[in-house]
Structure 1
Amino acid sequence: MMMETLEGAGLCFPHLNSSCKKPTHPHTEAMLIYVLLSSISLVTVALNLLVIFSISHFRQLHTPTNLLLLSLAVSDLLVGLLLMPVEIIYIEACWFLGDIVCTLYYVVDYIITSTSVANMVLLSLDRYIAICDPLHYPTKVTKRRAEICVCLCWICSVFYRILLLNDHLEQPGRSNSCLGECVVVINYIAGVVDLVFTFIIPITVIIILYTRVFVVAVSQARAIRSHIAAVSAQCSGAVTVKKTEMKAARTLGIVVVVFLICFCPYYYPALAGEDTTVNASYAAFDIWLAHFNSCLNPVIYTFFYPWFRKSIKLIFTLQILKTGSRDAKIL
């Protein structure tokens, strides 16, 4: 009788034979995991809130490019605010929210991921037009078009993920092996489709666009240097513009490289011809590495965007509380 009680104490649902065992970690290891992951979650939320508030508050930052960055920051904020806390809670706990909530959790997770990728594609396209066709940039890339593209990103991501996870939505919990578990298994075919449309095609497009951007930027820089003596004033302004555009392009390029590093481990099973298993009941390295990208994006903005550093300074010095702060010169 005592043995049965001890065995039941280690189960999510002690009175059910189909119950999962409670996830367990050594006390010290569990505390370190909690502290580390909680810190990442808090930093992710704080930094992305700063990006969102900066772009929303200062009128000078209401540009088409920053609208795309705002959309990316929103998706990153949702990762830190919704996805990371759930994974932290269930490091040492069973899943008691039911199969429907479990499935919805993964749908939201995948929607955010797809939207982030789509935003990066749009950002690379924005830089491509800005550098390769600067004269027509103001007419081709407008706030209205940027808003439409952002809305389409989110809407298409929702429909795409619902279609991809349709089997799990029709039969929640189909991948769970026992009660108290929250697992979604993406079969090989669906995994390959996801790999192609959410990873390979977008990243290929981004790399091609950035390659074209750098080739054009280098040729323009050489042309400017060769004529700088004849038209020094005009060319000086042009060099300033091109340096600004190149800096933005390099920054977004770094964002893409970081994205590749963070998401490659997650897509490895599909590349290896295996099913992709995602489990919310333990802190899987590939899942957290993918989510860690949402913490790195605003860090990159902090180091490489002068307007972001200036806006943070105004926020922390409470200058934003002054009348007319929305019209402050940030750029």
Structure 2
Amino acid sequence: MGDISGAIYTTLEVLIAVACCLGNVLVIWAVRASGCLKQPAFCFVVSLAVADFLVGAVAILMAVVVDRKVWTSFHGCLLMSCVVMVLIQSSVLSLLAIAVDRHLRVHIPLRYKRIITQRHSWAMVLACWLVAVVLGFIPMVGWYNHQTLAMMDNSTTIVCQFVSVMDFSYLVYFNFFGFTPLPLLVMLALYAHIFHSIHKRLREKQARSADSHAYFAKERRLAKSLLLVLVLFAACWLPLCLMNCVAFFSKPEDIPQAILYGGILLTHANSAVNPVVYAFKVPKIHQAYLQVYRKCLWGRNMQDWQGADSNNPTSGELIHTKI
């Protein structure tokens, strides 16, 4: 039964990894093609898409390696586990940056473009990743599972497992309680304030121009889309975080393997869901997606036409005559 569940888990991980990579590459291309990179909010969207892409290309691969019980050095396994933590922190910080950016755009619309330039937004993206690297690699400098290392004796390798090398006090007290619920609560408070302010300003239509009304209506639509991304992130990550709490305060064995697999798959699936949200909820990215589809469809039709033309030398003349 364990082998079957492991095989199903690995298959689903591979499918999610492919969806993560393809979907987020398309998001990055769509933002660039639509010219949205000039807008600070979309710089943070690209940062989040890069983190999601790396989840598919790197984190899921490492998760599968760990599940297959591969033998590695202790610090090699710890390094792989820390990379996963970096991607988690970069996603949280990118979502926080998006919320702060939306808040500033609504509350200081006239000064926003002067204060938040493209260079400033990319500097904030870089800062988010640097902070994520520092927070994610803290276990490498000593906050790891010393008990596993002590039990190795003269052995130089161990069966690489996340729970074997990571200290649960780091996962629960530092990563979860310190850098997951608090940022999520701050983001929810910012979005609540954003919607309250927009609703208040939209009710003052008589005192505002049509352009001002359209501006705030547009900001409300985009804020709703980005809030959905935040809610999905929380819904996908909180179950696994709660499992870590259970494992820390009781025993890791108390969590059934199938439920643990489900929690891990849910966190990885979140990185594949975001491109779908952008496709349906963000008009500029939706339009860029349609352009890609039309180009692919047009290219395929051209190839079919050229193939028919090569098989029948007179087909081109017949079509020309009909036209």
- Mapped contact 2:145–2:166 kept (Cα < 8 A): no
Cα distance change on mapping 1:72 and 1:157 into 2, 3 Å:
same
- Mapped contact 1:187–1:276 kept (Cα < 8 A): no
Query: Could you say what secondary structure the match of 2:71 adopts?
Result: coil
Matched residue, 2:99: 124
- Supply the AA of the counterpart residue of 2:132: S
Query: Could you say what secondary structure the match of 1:318 adopts?
Result: helix
Please give the alpha-carbon distance, in whole angstroms, between the structure 2 residues aligned to 1:81 and 1:276: 31
Residue 58 of structure 1, CA deviation = 4.0
Matched residue, 1:25: 3
Higher share of residues assigned helix: 2
Once the two structures are superposed, the pairs formed by residues 6-155 of structure 1 within 5 Å of their partners are: 24-26=2-4, 29-89=5-65, 91=67, 93-155=68-130
Matched residue, 1:274: 249
Matched residue, 2:313: none
Please give the alpha-carbon distance, in whole angstroms, between the structure 2 residues aligned to 1:104 and 1:37: 21
Please give the alpha-carbon distance, in whole angstroms, between the structure 2 residues aligned to 1:162 and 1:181: 17
- Mapped contact 1:269–1:276 kept (Cα < 8 A): no
Please give the alpha-carbon distance, in whole angstroms, between the structure 1 residues aligned to 2:11 and 2:71: 23
Matched residue, 1:289: 266
Matched residue, 2:281: 304
Structure 2 residue aligned with 1:217, among 190, 198, 201? Answer: 198
User: Residues 59-82 of structure 1, C-alpha deviation per residue, up to 9 Å, x if partnerless?
Assistant: 354321111101000000000111
| Deviation larger for 157-166 or 126-135 | 157-166
Aligned structure 1 segments of 4 or more residues deviating by more than 4 angstroms: 168-173, 175-178, 269-273, 275-278
Structure 1 residue aligned with 2:169, among 176, 185, 188? Answer: 188
- Supply the AA of the counterpart residue of 1:117: V
Cα distance change on mapping 1:95 and 1:69 into 2, 3 Å:
same
Cα distance change on mapping 1:157 and 1:176 into 2, 3 Å:
farther
Query: Could you say what secondary structure the match of 1:136 adopts?
Result: helix
- Mapped contact 1:164–1:190 kept (Cα < 8 A): no
TM-score where L is the length of structure 2: 0.78
Question: Gapped runs of 5+ residues in structure 1?
Answer: 1-22, 323-331
Query: Could you say what secondary structure the match of 1:94 adopts?
Result: coil
Are 1:245 and 2:244 an aligned pair? no
Cα distance change on mapping 1:30 and 1:169 into 2, 3 Å:
closer
Residue 243 of structure 1, CA deviation = 1.7
Structure 1 residue aligned with 2:237, among 263, 276, 288? Answer: 263
Q: State the Cα RMSD in Å.
A: 3.2
Cα distance change on mapping 1:297 and 1:138 into 2, 3 Å:
same
Query: Could you say what secondary structure the match of 2:166 adopts?
Result: strand
